[in-house]
């Protein structure tokens, strides 16, 4: 895999640096509800400050503002306050939400130039947005000397391991609502995996119409519910015995045992997507079982991606048991599909240094 040049090779002393970070965090009542992505941005920012950068301008999008009400709710002010609590350095400045300017998503050259004005170099540390050819992720990299931040590089290196030779058995676990969202990853990685485990609503789709040219393991039993509601009547059924119009909202106990056994013997694991409606405790057992099995396998190289899977890990306190928890979302999926990410492609390649 092609790796871009690292911020560690940049001469930043006395210079003004524009950093594209991924500060797209959830807000509640005007405060940051989860600062995971802010914390993930700190190593690159700290490196720049330690190497005597004169100024660090941090830019990011936040949500998808469309109306004046959105703009009021999605200002970067709460994010800046939290960043300053974690990194109280007057050289750090957070710019306003890049998506407040329509030129951001259009990759408008004029908006990119406004972001670049007054800066000497650019660092992209927003892996989660690297699959978007936007002004702050791709356009600015054409105007300033561009480098990859530490988080972006770590994502590429860890996810890239899944695309090369892996230790076997290699087990891929996929869940969620739609096959289409993950079809590219399933096609690119699934054919290389020894076992592919499918849960969630996408298992129902594959049971009816499977576009894959390799075998997958589907749930044999499910936790069925009479309606889509947290308090719905529910019980465990074999898949072929689920009553008409009932919904399978989680994998059943027999499937949990089968899936966890496969994960326990794996040496490489990639998991993306919950096994059911894990937000409701009555339908969370399957996702919990998978999370616990992945985290308990200390011999495996494990990668977990996707907002729901990562949320489940964090709620269960299991993230420390995973080799790499990806912040990437859509960027992770596109990379693992084998696609080139515009935000990465815009940064010059790393150059091998001669041996000392």
Whether the model clears a pTM of 0.85, i.e. scores above it, the answer is yes
- pLDDT, one tens digit per residue, over 126-145 is 999 999 999 999 999 999 99
Neighbouring C-beta atoms of residue 277, cutoff 10 Å: 24
| Three-state helix/strand/coil letters over the chain | CCCECEHHHCCCCCCEEEEECCCCCCEECCEECCCHHHHHHHHHHHHHHHCCCCEEEEECCCCCCCCHHHHHHCCCHHHHHHHHHHCCCCCEEECCCHHHCCCCCCCCHHHHHHHHCCCCEEEECCHHHCCCCCHHHHHHHHCCCEEECHHHHHHHHHHHHCCCCCCCCEEEEECCCCCHHHHHHHHHHHHHCCEEEECCHHHHHHHHCCCCCCCCECCCEEEEECCCCCCCCEEEEEHHHCCCCCEEEEECHHHHHHHHHHHHCCCEEEEECCCCCCCCHHHCHHHHHHHHHHHHCCCCEEEEECHHHHHHHHHHCCHHHCCEECCCCHHHHHHHHCCCCHHHHCCCECCCCCCC
pLDDT at 1 over 80: no
CA distance 303 to 310: 10
pLDDT at 356: 30
pLDDT at 160: 93
Higher pLDDT, 81 or 306: 81
pLDDT at 298 over 70: yes
pLDDT at 244 over 90: yes
Banded pLDDT at 209 (limits 50, 70, 90): confident
Higher pLDDT, 285 or 184: 285
| Least confident interval from 132-146, 215-229, 301-315 | 301-315
| Least confident interval from 121-130, 183-192, 338-347 | 183-192
pLDDT at 338 over 70: yes
pLDDT at 191 over 90: no
Q: What is the mean pLDDT of the chain?
A: 93
Reported as half-sphere exposure (CB side, CA atoms, 13 A), residue 13 has a value of 3
- pLDDT, one tens digit per residue, over 60-79 is 999 999 999 999 999 999 99
Q: Which of 83, 12, 19, 77 is nearest to 50 (CA)?
A: 12
């Amino acid at each position: 895999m092609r790796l871009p040049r690292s911020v560690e090779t940049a001469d930043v002393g006395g210079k003004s640096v524009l950093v594209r970070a991924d500060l797209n965090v959830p807000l509640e009542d005007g405060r940051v509800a989860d600062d995971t992505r802010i914390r993930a941005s700190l190593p690159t920012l700290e490196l720049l400050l330690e190497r005597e950068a004169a100024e660090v301008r941090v830019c990011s999008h936040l949500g998808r503002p469309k109306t004046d009400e959105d703009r009021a709710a999605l200002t970067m002010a709460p994010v800046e306050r939290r960043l300053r609590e974690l990194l109280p350095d007057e050289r750090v400045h957070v710019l306003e939400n890049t998506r407040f300017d329509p030129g951001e998503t259009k990759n408008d050259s004029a908006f990119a130039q406004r972001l670049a004005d007054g800066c000497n170099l650019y660092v992209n540390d927003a892996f989660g947005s690297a699959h978007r050819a936007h002004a702050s992720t791709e356009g600015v990299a054409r105007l300033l000397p561009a480098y990859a931040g530490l988080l972006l590089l770590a994502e590429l290196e860890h996810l890239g391991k899944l695309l090369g030779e892996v230790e076997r058995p290699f087990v891929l676990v996929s869940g969620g609502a739609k096959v289409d969202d993950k079809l590219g990853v399933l096609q690119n990685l699934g054919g290389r995996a020894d076992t592919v485990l499918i849960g969630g609503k996408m298992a129902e789709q594959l049971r009816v119409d499977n576009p894959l040219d390799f075998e997958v393991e589907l749930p044999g039993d499910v936790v069925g519910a009479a309606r889509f509601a947290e308090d719905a009547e529910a019980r465990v059924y074999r898949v072929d015995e689920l009553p008409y119009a009932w919904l399978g909202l989680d994998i059943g106990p027999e499937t949990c045992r089968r899936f966890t056994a496969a994960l326990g013997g794996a040496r490489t694991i990639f998991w993306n997507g919950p096994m059911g409606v894990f937000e409701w405790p009555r339908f969370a057992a399957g996702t919990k079982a998978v999370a616990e099995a992945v985290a308990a396998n200390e011999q495996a190289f494990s990668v977990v991606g996707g907002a729901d899977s990562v949320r489940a890990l964090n709620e269960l306190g299991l993230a420390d048991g995973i080799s790499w928890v990806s912040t990437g979302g859509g960027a992770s999926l596109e990379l693992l599909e084998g696609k080139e990410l515009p935000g990465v492609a815009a940064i010059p390649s790393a150059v091998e240094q001669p041996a000392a």
